[in-house]
Amino acid sequence: MQNEIVINASAGETRVAIFERGNFVELHLERESERSVAGNVVKGRVTRVLPGMQAAFVDIGLEKAAFLYAGDYRQESGPSDIDIDEEEETPRPQRRRGRNDGGRSVPKIESLLREGEEIVVQVAKEPIGTKGARITSHVSIPGRHLVLTPWSKRVGVSRRIEGERERRRLRELVSRLRPPDLGFIIRTAGDAAREQDLAADVKYLTEVWDEIQIKQETARAPQVLYTEPALPLRVIRDFVTGDTSRVVVDSAVVYDEMKAFVHRFVAEPQPRIERYQGDVPIFDSFGIEAQIDANLGRKVWLRSGGYLIIDQSEALTAIDINTGRYVGKHDLEETVLRTNLEAVKEVVQQLRFRTIGGLIIIDFIDMDSSENREKVYRALQDAIRHDKARTNILKISELGLVEMTRKRTRESLVQRLCEPCTYCEGKGYVLSRESVAHKILREIRKDLSRFCGRRVAVRVSRSVAELLLGRLKNSLEALEQELGFAIEVRAQADLHQEQFEVFALESGPPVPLDLPWLRQTAEETEVERTGNGHVSATPSTPPGTDLSPDNGAVDDGAKSTILPHPEREEGF
């Protein structure tokens, strides 16, 4: 499919946007601090052999020893069954678990390895939490059309390439091009590849393997021998095809690297690589930044005015489809059908863009007609056919629910780019300002006896202050009556809505205040009063933030000021 690739490479982070027919369909990113160790080829040292588990621990230079099953360690030939999982970021032959091999064909671990031995392995699975990395000796190095499998002497073809003739053509070509001692698998991307494409791949992969061999001879374990190329080069490997109109990159360094890589390893006609040098950041210039933001939110608008709500939880993703405005009874079913059909396309695109995997429940708008339900269901099946990830859709229910699964290939974009909101701790909600205001009033009332006649101040967020001094003024005043004092409300701009602080303003002996003025409305523009109580010094507050007798005064006869609010409240 015709595509265009835009790369933003800056210190520590590289982002790649892929456009298909002008649509922004995928975002990939790589951060230096989070570089994966999966795919690394490492010279490691066996630290423990575990006959009971038919496995071994191998030190590969990571914090935790890596785990190697007997079945993943073969010195002779590899598994005869060759398949490639094309959805993986780095395709590799499927491995059988050592323990599930039945133990018949797999030699005992203690006969294969001894402690202290140095072996060359590849990281198959990244360490997760307390689990160490999973490793294998079945090294596989992906190229553009081929995967090098040096442990096997065979030439395999991805099962997803159909057509016996094409399979035979590819197999014969690669058998002729390869060094006789190296095995290769033709990736799905190799379908219809020309001889020069395959030759370029064989050359590249053979060079990589030679480098590994040279390093391996001199290296002392643990030592990394090969790492997956950085994202821009993987982009050339995995996304650039004959249909790629151009690759645009903003970094001069990355531009040079890509040029050099293409020059060495990509057969003519080579993809067009351009350097972007505009003043506007490249992702802004292409309108990508705004689209990323729009595609992270819960709500996604449809052109018709309807919208999707996408909720991702650990167990599943729920997508709820809604008609935007009230559409009226007339033609309702027709409108609903149209919205549902429009939603189908957007859902499929969102699944891909957000790289959502696992169980997905789509809640279409109810349709009375079973015929229409069927239409929506078929549209979904059609749309998902182009999805490279493996999917499985179950029937649509009478309530318009569709259950489907999508293979998880990498972390979802939201997981990648976001973390739970510290405000609401991932709940997705915060207490409303009303709830917070009433909670504060309850707190003060609860502590009335503790305040024993002292003046009380509350520090609250702006929105809550606005409410306490505005709509909830009567409640606040009623409490002031009970307390016998004014309650000073201090707005603090940087305070979170749910946060507040209640404190007594003075520690001295309580002195009763004459409070008739409090009952007057605060609408008076500016009223000066003379308080007759002793008021001790209090923490300074910016002028205009309180609704209490002037607390900056220290003497008897201090001036009290009632300020109009909320207009005069700072920042309101």
List residues near Zn ion by CB under 5 A. Answer: 421, 423-424
Nearer to Zn ion among residue 399 and residue 421 (C-beta) = 421
Smallest distance from Zn ion to CB 417, Å: 15
Smallest distance from Zn ion to CB 420, Å: 8
Can you tell me the distance from the alpha carbon of 138 to that of 267, in angstroms, rounded to the nearest whole number? 28
Handedness of CA 291, 295, 301, 304 (dihedral sign): positive
Task: Tell me whether residue 138 is exposed, middle or buried, using C-beta atoms within 10 angstroms of its C-beta: 0 to 12, 13 to 18, 19 or more.
Answer: buried
Q: Tell me the residue number closest to Zn ion, measured at CB.
A: 421
Smallest distance from Zn ion to CB 427, Å: 7
Give the count of beta carbons closer than 10 Å to the beta carbon of residue 119: 20
Structure tokens at 549: 């007798």
Helix (H, G, I), strand (E, B) or coil at 174: helix
Can you tell me the distance from the alpha carbon of 177 to that of 148, in angstroms, rounded to the nearest whole number? 13
In the chain, the amino acid numbered 411 is E
Smallest distance from Zn ion to CB 179, Å: 57
What values do phi and psi take at 16, rounded to 5? -125, 125
Q: What share of the chain is helix, strand, coil (3-state, %, to 5)?
A: 30, 25, 45
Can you tell me the distance from the alpha carbon of 172 to that of 187, in angstroms, rounded to the nearest whole number? 15
Smallest distance from Zn ion to CB 295, Å: 18
Nearer to Zn ion among residue 131 and residue 427 (C-beta) = 427
8 Å CB contact between 182 and 148: yes
Q: Which helix (H) or strand (E) covers residue 537, if one does?
A: none
Nearer to Zn ion among residue 316 and residue 431 (C-beta) = 431
Nearer to Zn ion among residue 29 and residue 431 (C-beta) = 431
Using the structure block, give the residue that is written with the tokens 């993809």: 271
CA 124 to chain centre: 22
Smallest distance from Zn ion to CB 433, Å: 15
Smallest distance from Zn ion to CB 444, Å: 27
The beta-carbon contacts of 28-33 under 8 Å, at least 24 apart in sequence, are 28/231, 28/235, 29/231, 29/416, 29/417, 30/230, 30/231
Nearer to Zn ion among residue 374 and residue 425 (C-beta) = 425
Nearer to Zn ion among residue 424 and residue 448 (C-beta) = 424
Nearer to Zn ion among residue 243 and residue 293 (C-beta) = 293
Smallest distance from Zn ion to CB 422, Å: 8
Can you tell me the distance from the alpha carbon of 377 to that of 381, in angstroms, rounded to the nearest whole number? 6
Structure tokens at 169: 């053509």
Nearer to Zn ion among residue 294 and residue 421 (C-beta) = 421
Nearer to Zn ion among residue 301 and residue 423 (C-beta) = 423
8 Å CB contact between 365 and 336: yes
Smallest distance from Zn ion to CB 418, Å: 11
